[in-house]
Chains A and B, each alone.
Chain A
Amino acid sequence: MEKTVNQKAWFLVLPVLLLVAFSAVIPLMTVVNYAFQDTFGNNVFFWAGLTWFEELIESDRMWAALGRQAIFSAIILAIEVPLGIFVALNMPKKGFWASFCLVLMSLPLLIPWNVVGTIWQIFGRVDIGLLGYTLDKLGISYNYTQDFYAAWITVIVMDVWHWTSLVALLAYAGLQSIPDAYYQAAKIDQASRWNVFRYIELPKMAGVLMIAILLRFMDSFMIYTEPFVVTGGGPGNATTFLSIDLVKMALGQFDLGPAAAFSLMYFLVILLISWVFYTVMTNLDKREG
């Protein structure tokens, strides 16, 4: 659609601008201010210059957390996106069963994140949880509070359980917008199932899939509550992702300066990756349109 040039549209955007400025710009400025100073509490600050940034860049702690975070996000994207598409392809198109699936699939999305953590914390326990108990009876040693791999698998399965439905629902929305005529044409041409997917379904889903990937990437990159409840970042530091490390630093040890510097770098990384995603997405949109 051709848009009209109208500078007065700014007035319509103004409420959003003011609201988000209040809740984003002021705190962000504060974070920048903290990042360059040292404090012993009571709002007494000393200029620290680049000390915190230097310390963090040279510390293994941040790089390790960043590495774990990157691996985690990569793994869950690699599982959730194909699985979500696959589920969406298999969802009933209309009628009672379509609503039924929609309702059940939305359920994990609406559970508070600490409850998601609690559910899996209980579910995986060897003494009282169904999963842990079953695995234990099968003779598989499984203990997510002690074992590195068990902790990672639990956190990943939990995230797949929690968020695959979002990808599936978005992909399903994309599929719903494909007119029946397309499928009939494909049938006449005797297109294989794969070709239908590759040349009809995938291009139609491309837009929503980019949104799904963007959302999943952003949310997984800032995941905090769920793994914190389940593993507390352990065993050792095995599942200490960026946010967990940050909160430990900011609220636990009350190291305002380093925590703020950490926040800024964290934010910069997210900004960079999101910008790349967004640019790719809008360019794809343009090429299609």
Chain B
Amino acid sequence: MGFNKKISANEAHRCPQCAEPTCLAGCPLGIDIPGFIRLLRDGDVVSALERIKQDNPFPAICGRICPAPCENACIFHEEGSPIAIRALERYAADFGYKPHLKTKTTLNTNGKKVAVVGSGPSAMAAASVLLKEGFAVVMFEAANEPGGLLRYGVAEFRLPQKIVEAQFEELKSQGLELHTNMFIGRMKSLEELRGAFDAVLLAIGAAVPDFSLIEGENLSGVCYAEEFLMRLQMLSKENVSLMAGSLLRGATTVVVGRGYAAFDAARMAIRLGQQVHLVFAGLEEEIGVSSDDLKEALEEGLNIQAPVESLKIVADTQGFVAGLQCRRMDIMETQDGLRLEPLKDSQTVLEAQTIILANGQKANHFLAQMTPSLKTNPNGTVWINDKTAMTCLEKVFATASAVAGPMTVVEALASGKGAAKQIIGYLQQ
């Protein structure tokens, strides 16, 4: 839930304004956190938003779904009550935005054109930086709607789609040209883009599900969290209540995995009337979501089974899911110290009619497969020069998220910004 005026003012007053702020080190984007909190304390929401926007072009998104590494770096974190920086950012973004005060940007002042492939968080950040510098930016998105993972991989209740749409409206007002339904590599080759633009940025991100090799993963009734969320997000608003229920079989769902994809899928399944167990082979501290989100999920009735190792998916006679065979784990003393070891004789079958696998994501390697001239890393992702962010092809750059693999939304924004700065440096030479 977002803060109201009174709560946010109280929270801002709680910030001690440290002489050497530790929260700054936590933010990959380098937002001036004490600065905007000071402005919020004085009640100047508009200036606070402006201060945030100097470093983070999309505070409305970050204020909702950022895992808030800054709060972990806050000096109050050890006491258990860090300053709610994420919620304050959201408050500033929601209430400080005054459309009539929008700064007018001069469009395409330097006459150079940059193509951005992808429209996820890293692409959005890169486009925002490039537009501010006066480049003409053309964005190519393969899906029907822009936003990438923000559109198709985050549940509606955590990030409403109108927020993402509003960000794109803002980018468009700054001069962004957006082409959806354009799958680069198939409908247009990278070579064609290279010929038509001064620079090409591959912001293809890391949203490809990592296919697990758990036994029985292809049974009917097993889906990946990415597929489940995407099918829900693709439904029109009129048909959500009609169709969504038919995505899940039976009354019990087991979600296997950790992180936000698993939590989003599990909480959506709860909202669709399922009893949901989340099975995770690790300690509850390693579950990969912020404590606020964990608390909300538990309040909604999520049953977390951890640490439990999932062994295989059990099928019924028709080839549909009957349950998940798993066994409990516990911390044990071994020769190399403390480790999680499976308990003997603890194998059970957790009955379920639907199983959602959330193994995490990996970097997008499809474009590299479709373009043989691109040099690739051993794992199939695009190779880039670490200093210049340029791939082996001249004029073609790639964001760090497309190379290194999955990142949190704030890290993806930072990677897009970094790549955009490299492009600016290259084009202004």
A in complex with B: no
